[in-house]
Amino acid sequence: MLESFWLCNIRGIGAVSVRRLLEAAGGVEGVKNLGRRTMEETVGKKRADALERGREEKCRQRAFDTYYKYRRNGIAFLPLWHPDYPARLKQIADPPVALYVKGRLFLEETKTAAIIGARECSAYGSWAARYFAVGLARAGVCIVSGMARGIDGIAGGAALEAGGRSLAVLGCGVDICYPPENRFLYERLAQEGGLLSEYAPGTLPAAHLFPARNRIISGLSDLVLVTEARSRSGTLITVDLALEQGREVFAVPGRITDPCSGGCNRLIQNGAGIAVSPEQLLKELKTDADRGIPAAFAPAAGLAPLRPLGQKLLKILDFEPKCLDEIMTRLEEQTGAQTACLAEVTEELVRLWMEKRIRCESGRYFIEGPAG
Amino acid sequence: MYCHISAGGLRGLESYVAQVEVDVSNGLPCFDMVGLLASEVKEARERIRVALKNAGVKMPVGKITVNLSPAGIHKAGTAYDLPVALCIMAAQGMIPAKKLEGILAVGELGLDASVKPVRGILPMVQQGFLNGIGECILPLSNLKEGMLVEGALVMGVKDLGEAARYLCCEEPEREILRKKAKRSVRALPGSETETDGEQTMDFGVIQGMQDEKFAALTAAAGLHNLLYVGPPGAGKTMLARCLPSILPPLGQAEKREISAIYSVAGRLSQGSLLEKRPFVAPHHTVSDHALAGGGAIPMPGLVSLAHKGVLFLDEMAEFKRGTLDILRQPLEDRVIFLAKSGGNFLYPADFMLVAAANPCPCGFYPDRARCRCTSLEIRRYHARISGPLLDRIDLFCRVEPMPFDRLWGAKDAKSSASETESGWDSRLMQEKVMLARERQARRYAQTRIVANGRLGPGEIARYCSLGLSEQQFMEQATQQLRCSARACHHALRVARTLADLEGQEKIRVRHLSQALHYRKGGELYRN
């Protein structure tokens, strides 16, 4: 293991070169004793120099020290040829030559599903992410995501909250929390789930690292679910990669007028599966939905029965956030006369909000989950 | 020959009675002015010399010494020209010296001996009257302003000669001259007040927007600070411009207080008391000094000009952070404390803050169809408004763009819907505000509290007591809606006003929930 770590961390030798060298030498031990000519033939002169420098005792010792340091910090190192290396990932065209893991990998034991989507998501998108993440996680499916803002983070967090398993693939070193606002989720994943990255600990997040990270997300998953994406979303890159890797792609349909769902609807148009419920996806994954649909989405028990005005309001409200004026107009239209007064409607709305039947964001009210 | 007259001096917003002393003695001809004078006061020598010549007065040949006392106070402005000139004439014997006694003269001189207006007349005359100097000679264009002080005998003059003639007369003739001057200014057109040239609008022209109008009503009724958040063009500015029209009309004492500030700022151009509440709307590029008050002896800043009125910050997030933070102290203490090289000054700044802001840099959040701002951008945008300032705002109201059909359709429905909030006009709303204020005035009769918006944490506990079910409701709200203690306080204050608007002494659950709607529901994007 030490030798593998050393090989993967020689300055000036990247993942491709490592793979070539291993092919030429037939193993890590072989690389150590590779002749200069073979080296130059396989990786070129510059890299051969780098390798020779790296073979000096001093460099090797430094690599070993680093390895132990990572071990002490709970970061495991998994080279491509390690038995624990995720089997799904080995199948893809360009698997990462090594993975750094914090927490646990539960890949071999379970089915996996990636839940991905836009960073700037609507209430509907975040609800859908949570709905599917909880549903799948309860049935034992491991949720893979990128721990990004928006959908990714919501899905990962919801899976853990439901007592399920979740993995996050980072675009930086596993010892770095990016984005910083997901600190809580990061800590939780390190404790109860898993964090992995192909980049060495200490690598700072950079824009060019993230697309490569996406191939790992889809590579690790049996199924990729897009909950919300605009028509030109970065999420669609992951979908392309998933299709290349032969993964099942599902999309949550949205309204045709909603630009936030434009990408999802386009995917469906192009033949992606339509995700309607967690059970359907579980069937697709050939897993039993034995534990059923989470109770978290039924309204909390012990609530006071709905007042007549509340019932009317719930009929008017839906996913789309509505402002008070609009609600009033609808109410007047429905009841025919001007029976509603502003104060009463406001009171009822705030009550419903407190009962968690509806939600309010910047002055607009909406229903988060399906009614009832 | 020595003689003296009273003059008016300004130090910040305060005025004092200065003595102008002139002595003409034998010696080499010279004209000296002493008494810690700014350069415009020293320059008075030249103006006075020429003005006297053009008024047909020969300058006395001899050593002329002018002293403005108290000599330890720095004097600025051009108001000393007239008293000095009159004193010199008296020193020459053209006016009997004892006739200058008990007279306060204020005015700037032109080279043609005409008397020109100066700023700060109202506080000067007031101060003189309080010090027992009840007779004033003012520039004719300032006469209206001087007449505002009841009981003071004020005379307006066009030029130096007129002032001298007035002084030479005895009382019955003086009375006639004063009446004549007053008649001539009464004939002057326009007593329209000037508050930044802003026109107040009527809420009646705004269709729909019940929620927004109700927020305005609540804010006005309880003097709560208010923030409108909404996309560009939705009507935030329009709503704010309507606000002064529903505030209670100014009382006589308030009018005097505000007019004195405007007089010092030189903005009481028409010379009558301000009738409307000030509505001050600085542009977002406003400088710190313009807002707070600037200068060694500071001129009143916009916060003081908005005293007893509305300070409206349009595009609040565009203001410089430091500039906004200036408002924190006046919002807390209702005065602004200025420490300047000329001394420390305490100016009144008791205004109601109304602000408007876009929800995000592009303005359309949370309308995801149009807004492509990332959450980071939005957060940064809001971070520009400092938290402590937002904490002083009780009401957050979201302004929604009006759909086109309703904008036009509402006109037909107006006649039938005049009873609902959407049909409210300013007159109706002002009545409601007045009733609510009356209730508050009765409740806070023994205290210094003006309105619910000014309740401190201790006073909230005292005046916003809740019944059992209301307490339970608030407890639930704190848990379910994650209200901070401060948000609860704000909600209680607003609920107090809502109850007052309904004419109820007891705060009910519906008041609390409505207050929560305005406090928590409209809260800016927080992730």
Contacts of B217 in chain A (CB under 8 A): none
pLDDT tens profile B313-325: 999 999 998 999 9
Contacts of B376 (CB under 8 A, 6+ apart): none
Question: Which neighbouring-strand residues pair with A169?
Answer: A196
Q: State the complex-level ipTM.
A: 0.78
Fold of A112-297: Rossmann fold (3.40.50)
pLDDT tens profile A121-145: 888 898 899 999 999 998 889 999 9
Confidence category of residue A1, pLDDT binned at 50, 70, 90: confident
Phi and psi angles of residue B15, each rounded to the nearest 5 degrees, phi first: -120, 155
Written as one string, the DSSP assignment of A124-147 is HHHHHHHHHHHHHHHTTPEEEE--
Mean pLDDT over B219-224 rounds to 94
Interface of A with B (CB under 8 A): 119-120, 122, 149-150, 181, 257-260, 321, 323-326, 328-329, 338, 341-344, 346-347, 349-351, 353-356, 360-365
Contacts of B517 in chain A (CB under 8 A): 324, 346, 349-350, 360, 363
Domain spans, chain A? 2-103, 112-297, 308-366
Whether residue B406 has pLDDT greater than 70: no
Q: CA nearest A260: which of B54, B366, B66, B49?
A: B366
Contacts of A325 in chain B (CB under 8 A): 208-211, 400
Nearest-CB residue to A364 (from B210, B214, B398): B398
Assess contact for B91 and B1: CB atoms under 8 A.
yes
Residues listed for chain B: 527
Q: CA nearest A205: which of A126, A117, A146?
A: A146
Q: CA nearest B304: which of B354, B338, B340?
A: B338
Cα separation, B492 vs B499, whole angstroms? 10
Mean pLDDT over B176-189 rounds to 84
Question: HSE (CB half, 13 Å, CA atoms) of B429?
Answer: 29
Question: Which neighbouring-strand residues pair with B338?
Answer: B345
More confident call, A303 vs A225:
A225
Assess contact for A123 and A240: CB atoms under 8 A.
no
The pLDDT value recorded for residue B276 is: 85
- List the CATH code of the domain at B203-360+368-446: 3.40.50.300
Topology agreement, domain B2-186 and domain B203-360+368-446: no
Q: CA nearest A28: which of A71, A68, A63?
A: A63
Write the DSSP symbol of residue A102: E
Contacts of B74 (CB under 8 A, 6+ apart): B36, B37, B38, B297, B342
Domain spans, chain B? 2-186, 203-360+368-446
* pTM (2 d.p.): 0.80
The pLDDT value recorded for residue B222 is: 93
Contacts of B375 in chain A (CB under 8 A): 119-120, 149-150
Residue A230, classed as helix, strand or coil, is coil
Whether residue A288 has pLDDT greater than 70: no
Looking at chain A, which residue has its C-alpha nearest residue B476? A354
Name the CATH code of domain B2-186 (choices 3.40.50.1100, 3.30.230.10, 3.40.50.2000, 3.90.340.10): 3.30.230.10
Tell me the shortest Cα–Cα distance from A124 to chain B, in angstroms. 12
Report, in angstroms and rounded to the nearest whole number, the Rg of chain A calculated over CA atoms. Answer: 25
Contacts of B476 in chain A (CB under 8 A): 354
Write the DSSP symbol of residue A94: S
B95, two tokens: 């006016």
The pLDDT value recorded for residue A296 is: 47
Whether residue B421 has pLDDT greater than 70: no
Written as one string, the DSSP assignment of B410-432 is HHHHTTTTTTSGGG--HHHHHHH
Assess contact for A96 and A80: CB atoms under 8 A.
yes
Interface of B with A (CB under 8 A): 208-211, 214, 229, 359, 365-366, 368-369, 372-375, 396-398, 400, 406, 417, 419-421, 476-477, 480-481, 498, 509-510, 513-514, 516-517, 520-525, 527
Contacts of B510 in chain A (CB under 8 A): 343-344, 346-347
Whether residue A195 has pLDDT greater than 90: yes
pLDDT tens profile A318-370: 877 888 888 888 888 887 655 568 888 888 888 888 888 888 877 888 887 65
Cα separation, B451 vs B501, whole angstroms? 12
Q: CA nearest B291: which of B300, B283, B302, B282?
A: B302
Angle at A166 between CA A125 and CA A177, to 5 degrees: 85
Q: What is the b/e burial string over A62-90, where b = at least 16 CB atoms within 10 angstroms of the residue's CB?
A: ebeebbeebeeeebbbbbbeeeebbebbe
Confidence category of residue A147, pLDDT binned at 50, 70, 90: very high
Mean pLDDT of chain B: 87
Task: Tell if the CB–CB gap between A321 and B477 is shorter than 8 Å.
Answer: no
Q: Side chain identity at A123, as an amino acid letter?
A: A
Assess contact for B83 and B66: CB atoms under 8 A.
no
Cα separation, A36 vs A253, whole angstroms? 58
Cα separation, B390 vs A102, whole angstroms? 41
Strand spans (E) along chain A: 75-79, 98-103, 112-117, 142-145, 165-169, 194-197, 223-228, 248-251, 273-274, 359-361, 364-366
Assess if CATH 1.10.10.10 describes domain A308-366: yes
